[in-house]
Amino acid sequence: MKKQFQNPRQSGRLEVICGSMFSGKTEELMRRLKRAEYAKQNVLTIKHKIDQRNNQQHSAIMSHEGKQRLAFLVSEDDTEVAKILDLADESVDVVGIDEIQFFSKKAIEVICKLVDQGKRVIVAGLDLDFRGDPFGIMPLLLALADDIIKFKAICVLCGADAHHTQRMLNDKPARYDDPIILVGATNCYEARCRACFSIDKSMYFEIKNPLEKIEEKRHPRKSI
């Protein structure tokens, strides 16, 4: 006798849009949210307060092409992040969150609850920071996602596919020990391919080496 599959309960889904700056992540997020509205679904749009690329439209997500969409502002404060659950009431079908890499780990809990409630959650953000390291909570979201799409920009130096975000300060690559968060646009950042990406790690190695020496004293290597 054939085993019959049970009809699954209606569940939500998590979609992650990632990539470097200038790759079209926000545009894709807006496209999916607009498409959901065409399907007569109620959409809630969230953005992080730190993104102030256009002060006149601070309450809107905005692509580098100038497209924009009104959004609720939320900071990284856990209390504010938790309020997303109140904003996404029973009438909301789809939740879109831009610049997700800036949010605290509390956002993971909130997103999982929204998905459990049967909502479609679409997030967009950088997967790598200017150092070339995984950015914030993005690695966890990629592991939890039902659907992932990675966008690539065009390297400004050679024209190849670019998945790195190069930070430039005074026409020079930023140092590895510089602050991770520095919101800006074309005057601060460039899209670079792996071959053209550059980061000054001199200070990083100066910091790392003494720590390695301390660790070696605690756990000396056995000579063969």
Q: Which residues are catalytic?
A: 99
DSSP string, 164-181: EEEEEETTEEPBTTS-S-
Those residues with Cβ within 8 angstroms of residue 209's Cβ, 6 or more apart along the chain or in another chain: none
CA gap 90, 34 in Å, rounded: 20
Residue 166 — left, alpha, or beta (φ > 0 → left; ψ -120 to 50 → alpha)?
beta
Structure-block tokens of residue 22: 């200038």
Question: What is the C-alpha separation between 10 and 114, in angstroms, rounded?
Answer: 13
Q: Which residues pair with 60 in a beta bridge?
A: 70
Element (H, E) at 70: strand 68-70
